[in-house]
Amino acid sequence: MLCFVFILIGYSTYLIVPIRSSFHPTINENDPEDVLSFVSYLKREQYGSRPLLYGPQFNAQPDHYEEGAPRYKRENGKYVEILPRAQEPGYADADKMLLPRLYSYDPAHIQEYKKWVPDLQEGTKPTMGQNLGFLFRYQIGHMFWRYFFWNYVGRESDIQQAGVVWPGSPSPSTLPPRIGGSFAHNNFFAIPLILGLIGLFVQLRRRGHDALVVGLLFLFTGIAIVVYLNQPPIEPRERDYTFCGATFAYAIWIGLGVIGLGQLLAAALKADNARAGVAIVLGLLSPTILLAQGWNDHNRTGRYNSVDSARNLLNSCAPNAILFTNGDNDTFPLWYAQEVEGIRTDVRVAVLSYLNTDWYIQQMKRRAYLSQGLPISMNDNTYAQGNNDMLPFSPNPAVDSLDLKQFISLVGQGSPLLKYSDGNYSTMTFPTPKFFLNVDTAAVKALGIIPKDREKQLVSRLDWSMGKKAIEKKNLVILDMIATNNWKRPIYFSSTVAPSDYMNLQPYFQLEGMAYRLLPLRDPNYDRRGDEGYVEKSICYDELMHKFQYRGLNNASVFYDENNLRFPANYRDKFARLANSYLAAGDMAKAKEVANKCLDVMPDNAVPFDYYTPQLVPVLVAVGEKDKANAILDKLTERSINILSYYQTHDGALFDDAQRGYLLTLQSVYQAAAQVHDEARAKKAYEVLAPYLQERSQ
């Protein structure tokens, strides 16, 4: 009974979720305020499902569709079923297998599968041996034991897929600076691991049943989670936090290892007090090494990158704006800035991945702080989960292009003109990829949103292609807002959003700071230049040079890991685009000022030069700063050669993304050197690139 009471106490902490949700806070993920939505929240239904013990393998093809589980909503104090039920793909028994680890049909995932299971063949059902091979090599070996050894043996670097630093590994000074010089290059000499093994041995001998309990804790918070999660072969970032429970369990054995040290010293030291003292001193070696090696890469002192990136992105937007963001990394700092520091609460942040869910769309229709609800015309039933989750392309030669407002109206009505039915399966479609939106130019001019230097670029109609891929619910919501808004509220896309989510609207983008504003203005040079967004120089200059904050980005003692370096790279991109815009306009003074500002706020010793830095080279050469330009090209070439050579002697297949990044950087170096007619540096970069280009073309 006592155990049962403590279990109830533990699970009672979850009650804070529905209690807090019932107050309708601004950020109310999943809206878990009733029993059914709370269960959905606990089951993580928003993330979809993966086959666990039995299900389809990666090349299985659905041969039918079947009704999904019933879904309910609360209306007038009662739960009513949401109709129609979602249609889910069904598979033949021959395409299913036990313990399907190779399950994803994503082409990128299939290529990754082959790295871990070399004999895997597309079009052939994987064997149980291949499934287990992926489980033990990747899911358990690479994604669990590697993380485990990071904590108790050593970690190579902060680069994703980084390996373990075992005793006897090369000295950091012999490694490329990006690896050996990283604050995250930690060598614990396996002392914590050894101490834990001693503790495990001691507990097995003295209290075997206790060792079983701790072992079960280690198993269920480690290996069992591996089996349950059934991780895909690609993750957006390292997932070591998933297994922190297993490291806690092992820490118990590390503590018991001190007792084991005392027992080992019994032959040499007879006095109990002396033996205990020596064992404690030796035991303190473990936390001392962990602290000495791990402090600088865990220390957050002086690191304001996240909150400054959020502040700068919000301040890129005009008053009362709508800002579309990509996912966690660029959204959570925005929420912090608005919720905690009260920064720009007039801007409504809309997370694209969440816009695929009905609960989030409903919340977006409500007021939040200084922001009115989003201009969404279609009702909740149209966006209910299971309705319009995906609108496939169904070509109709009679339809050349679609009026966006008419399309939104037809979808909202569930018009049979757009509906496709096949037995039990029914869905809305779109008949042509070509869309247009008529613009009331007089009304737009009256709003005062057109910069004076772009008045001639105002168009009476937006024309673009959605492509022939299916329209996701999030895209449908964005199209609804664009059609309904009538340019009254500024609409922005964060520059961190994947280009595929821009829906080919880039010719009508205007770059303002760190965001692209959608305007009824067509960039006349877009087709020739291909950049995303017309650079509105006066706005960008004011924001990048005066409004934005870059605290700590010039401090070499602050650690910026792989993820933290992404937003500073984004800054460099915008600085380079602005500087080059001034150069093209013949304003050398402004071009020089912008380029030097970029180098000052993000020097190489604090935030290493990246892919975007060579784009400053033509500006620097043009304004008489050739030494700075050459230093950029030489440093990036040398570093790229260093690390690419290192990966050639290691398991380079695991570091495709990292290698690709350095190859792209070398390509940027080559293009910049060629642009300023520096043939020697261009040739050097090309000579390094050539073997990789030939390899990838084969």
pLDDT digits (tens, 9 = 90+) for 152-176: 999 999 999 999 999 988 999 999 9
Do both 368 and 511 map to the same domain? yes
In a domain, 112, yes or no: no
Contact 130/114 with Cβ under 8 angstroms?
A: no
| 534-535 vs 509-512, strand pairing mode | parallel
Q: What is the pLDDT of residue 649?
A: 81
pLDDT in tens, 369-378: 999 999 999 9
Do both 225 and 289 map to the same domain? yes
Do both 172 and 190 map to the same domain? yes
- 525, 549, 573 — which closes off a domain? 549
Q: Name which of 278, 276, 243 is nearest 152 in CA terms.
A: 243
Do both 603 and 659 map to the same domain? yes
Do both 293 and 306 map to the same domain? no
Do both 87 and 146 map to the same domain? no
- Structural domain count, the chain: 5
Residues 6 or more apart whose Cβ sits within 8 Å of residue 4: none
C-alpha 635/C-alpha 399 separation (Å) is 55
Q: What is the pLDDT of residue 56?
A: 93
Residue 417, classed as helix, strand or coil, is: coil
| Farthest-apart Cα atoms in the chain, separation | 96
Lowest-pLDDT choice from 48-57, 581-590, 668-677? 48-57
Domain of residue 189, residue span: 133-298
pLDDT in tens, 92-120: 888 999 999 999 988 889 999 999 999 99
Q: Of 41 and 696, which is predicted with more confidence?
A: 41
- 272, 298, 324 — which closes off a domain? 298
C-alpha 533/C-alpha 508 separation (Å) is 7
Q: Name which of 224, 231, 240, 243 is nearest 112 in CA terms.
A: 231
Q: Name which of 197, 195, 247 is nearest 225 in CA terms.
A: 247
C-alpha 579/C-alpha 472 separation (Å) is 37
pLDDT in tens, 511-528: 999 999 999 999 988 877
In a domain, 3, yes or no: yes
* Chain centroid to CA 691: 31
- The answer to whether residue 698 scores a pLDDT higher than 60 is no
Do both 577 and 646 map to the same domain? yes
C-alpha 677/C-alpha 675 separation (Å) is 5
pLDDT in tens, 407-419: 999 999 999 999 8
- The answer to whether residue 455 scores a pLDDT higher than 90 is yes
Q: Name which of 489, 498, 491, 490 is nearest 532 in CA terms.
A: 498
Contact 50/60 with Cβ under 8 angstroms?
A: no
Write out the two tokens for 266.
């019994």
Residue 663: HSE in the Cβ half-sphere, 13 Å Cα cutoff: 16
Q: How confident is the model at residue 423 (pLDDT cuts 50, 70, 90)?
A: low
Q: What is the pLDDT of residue 120?
A: 92
Q: What is the pLDDT of residue 697?
A: 55
- Residue ranges with strand state E in 19-86: 54-56, 64-67, 72-75, 78-81
Q: How confident is the model at residue 424 (pLDDT cuts 50, 70, 90)?
A: low
Whether residue 84 is preceded by a cis peptide bond, meaning omega within 30 degrees of 0, is: yes
Q: What is the pLDDT of residue 667?
A: 95
Contact 476/411 with Cβ under 8 angstroms?
A: yes
Do both 411 and 351 map to the same domain? yes
C-alpha 380/C-alpha 554 separation (Å) is 48
Q: What is the pLDDT of residue 652?
A: 60
Sign, CA dihedral 490-496-501-503, equals positive
Do both 509 and 557 map to the same domain? no
Do both 88 and 141 map to the same domain? no
In a domain, 567, yes or no: yes
- 549, 573, 592 — which closes off a domain? 549
In a domain, 500, yes or no: yes
Residue 461: HSE in the Cβ half-sphere, 13 Å Cα cutoff: 11
Share of the chain above pLDDT 90, in %: 76
pLDDT in tens, 531-568: 788 999 999 999 999 999 999 999 999 999 998 999 99
Do both 496 and 558 map to the same domain? no
Do both 560 and 696 map to the same domain? yes
Q: Of 585 and 384, which is predicted with more confidence?
A: 585
> Across all residues in the chain, what is the average pLDDT?
92
In a domain, 469, yes or no: yes
Q: What is the DSSP letter of 291?
A: H
